Structure formats: C-alpha cells, structure tokens
Amino acid sequence: MGLVSGIAIYFITWWTTLFVVLPFGQRSQAEAGERALGTTESAPVEARMWRKIGITTILATIVFALFYLVTQVWGIGPDNFPHMIPGT
C-alpha cells in the first residue's frame, strides 16, 4: 500500500467512523425542553463537536491500524478466502 492509498483509506475510515460517533450522547431540544427560536425541535442542545472529532480520530486510527496489520503485515487479502462459488 502506497502513501496516497493509505491516506485515502484512512480518510474514508475517518468519515465512516464520524457518522458512527455523531449520535452518541446527543440530546435534542425537544428532550431537553429548551427550544431556541428559528430551530427545529430535533436540533441538538450541545453538539460537542471537538470531543466527537477526537473520539472519531482515535477510533479511526485503531480501525486503520487493524486494517494495516491484517493486509500488509499478515498479508491476508481476498485471495486467501475460499471460493464460495464453484468453478471460480
């Protein structure tokens, strides 16, 4: 895996992890009983985005490290799995 490929895979992993982390700890304005003018009831009370970005970075780094370990160090790839369809 080259540098550009590694950065691209990390970028995709980071964004996917962000969408997993975003709903953690969210309270909507309807749940909190506080509603700011001009916003919907489903808007979050406190987004805490810097904390979520930090958690996302840590989780994405762990996932990428596991991916790198399996594919580059151990050398396991799609060719190592048995063929599920006969004749392929």
Domain layout of the chain by residue ranges = 3-77
Tell me the pLDDT band of 6, cut-offs 50, 70 and 90: very high
Note the pLDDT tens digit of each residue in 57-83: 999 999 999 999 999 998 888 777 777
Q: Give the Cβ contact number of residue 56 at 10 Å.
A: 21
Its pTM surpasses 0.85: no
Which DSSP string do the residues of 42-65 spell out, in sequence order? Answer: TSBS---HHHHHHHHHHHHHHHHH
Instruction: Give the three-state DSSP class for 28.
Output: strand
Tokens 């006969």 locate to: 86
Contact (Cβ atoms closer than 8 angstroms) between residue 59 and residue 21: yes
Which pair of tokens denotes residue 58? 């840590």
